Amino acid sequence: MGNIIELTKGKFDKIKSRKKKLGSGVDGTVYGVNSKEVGNIIELTKDEFDKIVRRKKEIGSGVDGKVYGVNSKEVYKIYHNTSDSIKIEEDGVLDAEEVNIRDPKELRHRGTRINNKPINYIDGDGVILNREDAILKAIEKQEKVKYTNLPQKLIKVDGRLVGCVYKRYNSVFGIYALSYFPLSKRKEVLKKLYLKLKELYENNIYPVTLAQKNDLLPFSKKESNVILDYNLEPQIIDLDGISTYYSDSFCRREYERSLSSFSILALEIISGIDFLDADTDEEMERYIQDLVKRGIPQKLAKEIYNENGFKDEDRIRQLLK
């Protein structure tokens, strides 16, 4: 739009009410807007983006993206496939066949532009399949959702979606750590989790990967998109991308997927049975090495190795180095 900045009424009001007033004259007031944050969008330059990815502390990583601690209150989740989307933009025209999309849901993994237009895809059941639209929907729904923190903002570079902002949780560990707690505590936490999920269902938000195998989380061999904060308060995370579906009306399919995911998680934690793939020895080794890196005592790490069938003392010593 050349040299015209088009603002919506909402954005205009936000600048007026929130941005730093630098001075006031006869005709108007000058506001400092250099933070490049307007409304729900954080616009980063390529340099600022590179600095976050290179310099900020990476606090987690999953299928969709990496999570960086940018300050004490917020984390930035940056998608793995941002370079793909850059490529798609640079290549200009790209059609669905070229990106080999079998299932429309894959669109959300693969950057959201086809024929250089953002895809605005809603499936037959009213579920939003566009990553950016889903985050915008989350921001809108947050008004009614009290117990869970949904994604708060979009992060863009050159107008392209590269990630989103979440509230930061501290001293977190994966919910599977709960398996080692007394039964009454396990039940209490699972009940709290269910109440939070119920609120999400009432708002047509369906997290579908609550129980999921992975070896990246501290104190857990499985990744789950539920973490516990230092008060043992269960927090549902990963409420964007392929992990969570948003809809404007009740969607039985996603509701049942979400509920089944919760059921697996709950039953595993209550029964101590591992429903999902058993961990390989390599995963177990890495899991415990991770615990050591995070500061658990060597002695305890050694006990965990022993308890899990590692008998070779030399190997254990090597792993704990």
Ligand X SMILES: Nc1ncnc2c1ncn2[C@@H]1O[C@H](COP(=O)(O)OP(=O)(O)O)[C@@H](O)[C@H]1O
Which parts of this chain interact with ligand X (CB under 6 A)? 59-65, 67, 75, 77, 166-169, 172, 217, 223, 225, 227, 237-238, 241, 243
Q: What whole-number distance in Å separates Cα of residue 235 and Cα of residue 241? A: 17
Contacts of 241 (CB under 8 A, 6+ apart): 64, 65, 79, 108, 109, 131, 134
Per CB under 5 A, the list member of 112, 225, 235, 244 interacting with Mg ion is 225
Toward Mg ion, which CB reaches closer, 62 or 218? 62
Residue 59 CB, shortest distance to ligand X, in Å, is 5
Q: Which does 205 bind (CB under 5 to 8 A by kind): ligand X, Mg ion, none?
A: none
Q: How many residues bind Mg ion (CB under 5 A)?
A: 3
**Looking at beta carbons only, is 113 or 235 nearer to Mg ion?**
235
Looking at the Cβ atoms of 60 and 111, the one nearer to ligand X is 60
Sort 96 into a burial class: Cβ within 10 Å, 0-12 / 13-18 / 19+. Answer: middle
CB within 8 Å of 249: residues ≥ 6 apart: 126, 204
How far is residue 7's CA from residue 316's CA, in Å, rounded to a whole number?
Answer: 61
Pick one of Mg ion, ligand X, none as the site partner of residue 172 (Cβ within 5 to 8 A by kind): ligand X
- Can you read off the two tokens belonging to residue 143? 């008004």
Report, in Å, the least distance between residue 25 CB and Mg ion.
50
Minimum CB distance to ligand X smaller for 60 or for 234:
60
Q: Give the dihedral of Cα atoms 177, 219, 213, 134; nearest 10 deg.
A: 90
- Find residue 38's DSSP bridge partners: 41
**133 counts as binding Mg ion under rule CB under 5 A:** no
Which residue lies nearer to Mg ion by CB, 178 or 226?
Answer: 226
Stretch binding Mg ion (CB under 5 A), from 11-19, 135-143, 168-176, 223-231: 223-231
Sheet order of strands, 205-207 included:
127-128, 244-247, 205-207
Cβ distance to ligand X smaller for residue 77 or 141: 77
The per-residue DSSP string of 69-98 comes to E-SSSEEEEEETTHHHHHHHHHH----TTT
**Choices 66-74, 137-145, 222-230, 267-275 (CB under 5 A): range interacting with Mg ion:** 222-230
Query: From the CB of 190, what's the least distance to ligand X, in Å?
Result: 19
Minimum distance from CB of 248 to ligand X (Å)?
23
Among 62, 151, 174, 234, binds Mg ion (CB under 5 A): 62
* Tokens 């030399």, residue located: 314
Residues 6+ away with beta carbon under 8 Å from 113: 85, 88, 89, 94, 119
Q: Return the one option of ligand X, Mg ion, none that residue 207 interacts with (CB less than 5 to 8 A, by type).
A: none
φ, ψ for residue 179 (rounded to 5)? -55, -25
Nearer to Mg ion, 88 or 161 (CB): 161
Residues at the site binding Mg ion, with contacts judged by CB under 5 A = 62, 225, 238
